[in-house]
Amino acid sequence: MRTLLAAIAFVVAVGLVFGSLGYAEESATPIKVGAILAISGPASFLGAPEVKTAEMFVDKINKAGGVDGHKIELIVKDSGAKPENAISMAKQLIDEDKVLAIIGPSTSGETMAIKNICQEAKTILLSCAAAEDIVNPVASYVFKTPQKDSDAARLIFITMKGKGISKVGVVASNDGFGMAGKAQLEKLAPEYGITVAISETYDKQATDLTDVLTKLKGQDVQAVINWSIVPAQSLVAKNMKQIGLDVPLFQSHGFGNIKYVKAGGEAANGTLFPCGRLLVADVLPDSNPQKTLLMKYKSDYESKYKEDVSTFGGHAYDALLILTEAIKKAGSTDTDKVRDAIENLKGLVGTAGIFNFSATDHNGLSMDAFEMLTVNDGQFALYKE
């Protein structure tokens, strides 16, 4: 009797599985896209605008009938910026939800933790994190949307040469983004004839940096470069002024959030940093190919969420844009076809710049994606020499 029951249960179960599969095949299948973003926790300033942007983007696409008739189903996971969470969420999205692609994670450390998982599972990963290691060496299923660290470093050094600066001090936060940037700066400085006199790391949750900056001051540096994405970016600006270290402050593209300018107040004025054009969209000439898209994203985001747009949300925008464009181009939702289509995307205008992917370049952006920005009276402005 028991075996009979078990047999019936088995048959019913099999029927259900196949039945549901059959049903799913018939109706227009939604495209499942996972999003692993640091919505809470220390990197929430990245994840929060990213998730808002992603939801806005998907809403808009679905209202317009989806991509080639397929609706997008966005499955959002909050990693809290913890690599271990990112790993289990990536496995869940791949094994249980069977997503076509994952956008995120928000931070470089998390992305590196799941790079191989996605590669081995042949799931497309479109990272919103900056570190160069994500796409170098290239993993065939792994892409990233923010500009390259090395290009940011190069633009900083070029600007420094223009200002006649030859001896600098570097401070960086002790997380994936900070450490990777610090390594790039130390590696590239000699190419531009610039000496890194001192290079230090600080705790990513630091609440005061007077001591480290005093050390830089002791080395008579002509400029300070800070490389981090944490709130300490405003602290560097404030503490430098407070200890009378009156040299130019250069920051990384992680400074692209008006909140940090507000937190730095008066001290943030004059900060120089390389950044995408989103923050200065209003003052771009109309001839700029990115202008229309940037203004549209900015006004959509700001009217929907009543907060200032940041470049980080733009990284999620670009990730979804690349994915949807590739699906259209491939005319299919087959992972490998979509992957190949991404590699063939050329001249795609996004928020971070103009993407030109290839089999060897999974970032697709060049140095002209950056513009040197500065802060005037608490507002971002284009830097003019």
Partner 1 sequence: MNLPQIVQYCFAGITVGSIYAIVAIGFNIIYNTTGIINFAQGEFLIVGAMTAISLSAVLPLPLAIILAVLLTTLLGGLIEIVFIRKVRDASVLRLIVITIGISIIMREAMLHIWDEKVRSLPYFTGNEVSTVTILGAHISPQVLWVLGICGVIVAGLTLFFRLTLTGRAMRACADNRMAARLCGINDRWMVTLSFMLSAGIGALAGCVISPVTQTQYDMGAPLAIKGFTVAILGGIGNSMAAVVAGLFLGLMEAFMVSQFDAAYKEAVSIVILLLILVFRPSGLFGRSEIAAAGTA
Among 210, 332, 333, 356, which residue interacts with partner 1 (rule: CB under 8 A)?
Answer: 210
> Is residue 375 helix, strand or coil?
strand
Closest CA to 76 of 50, 100, 113: 50
Element (H, E) at 200: strand 195-202
Of the listed pieces 229-237, 289-297, 331-339, 357-365, which binds partner 1 according to CB under 8 A? Answer: 229-237
Among 20, 195, 205, 376, which residue interacts with partner 1 (rule: CB under 8 A)?
Answer: 205
Among 77, 82, 144, 217, which residue interacts with partner 1 (rule: CB under 8 A)?
Answer: 217
- Measured CA angle at 271 (ends 265, 214), to 5 deg: 85
Give yes or no for residue 263 binding partner 1 (CB under 8 A).
yes
Q: What is the DSSP letter of 29?
A: P
Let me know: does 114 contact 86? Beta carbons within 8 Å.
Answer: yes
Let me know: does 177 contact 254? Beta carbons within 8 Å.
Answer: yes
Q: Write out the binding residues for partner 1, residues 345-384 only, by CB under 8 A.
A: none
Among 31, 33, 37, 42, which residue interacts with partner 1 (rule: CB under 8 A)?
Answer: 42
Residue 117 backbone class (left: φ over 0; alpha: ψ -120 to 50; beta: rest): alpha
Give yes or no for residue 241 binding partner 1 (CB under 8 A).
yes
Give yes or no for residue 235 binding partner 1 (CB under 8 A).
yes
Give yes or no for residue 214 binding partner 1 (CB under 8 A).
yes
Q: Which is nearer to partner 1, 289 or 378 (CB)?
A: 378
Q: Write out the binding residues for partner 1, residues 313-342 only, by CB under 8 A.
A: none
Helix axis angle, 210-218 to 232-242, nearest 10°: 50
Q: Which is nearer to partner 1, 123 or 310 (CB)?
A: 310
CA 226 distance to own-chain centroid: 18
Among 84, 203, 302, 334, which residue interacts with partner 1 (rule: CB under 8 A)?
Answer: 203
Residue with tokens 């808002």: 52
Q: Which is nearer to partner 1, 259 or 337 (CB)?
A: 259
What's the min distance (Å) between Cβ of 4 and partner 1? 50
Give yes or no for residue 247 binding partner 1 (CB under 8 A).
no
Give yes or no for residue 45 binding partner 1 (CB under 8 A).
yes
What's the min distance (Å) between Cβ of 266 and partner 1? 5
Among 186, 211, 302, 336, which residue interacts with partner 1 (rule: CB under 8 A)?
Answer: 211
Let me know: does 58 contact 67? Beta carbons within 8 Å.
Answer: no
Q: Which is nearer to partner 1, 52 or 277 (CB)?
A: 52
Give how many residues touch partner 1 by CB under 8 A.
40
Let me know: does 192 contact 157? Beta carbons within 8 Å.
Answer: yes
**Distance, CA of 83 to CA of 289 (rounded, Å):** 37
Catalogue the E-assigned strands of the chain: 31-37, 72-78, 101-103, 124-127, 142-144, 167-173, 195-202, 223-227, 249-251, 272-275, 348-349, 354-355, 371-376, 379-382
Let me know: does 333 contact 127? Beta carbons within 8 Å.
Answer: no
What's the min distance (Å) between Cβ of 260 and partner 1? 8
Give yes or no for residue 52 binding partner 1 (CB under 8 A).
no
Binding site for partner 1 (CB under 8 A): 39-42, 44-45, 48, 171, 174, 200-203, 205, 207-208, 210-212, 214-215, 217-218, 231, 234-235, 237-238, 241-244, 259-260, 263-268
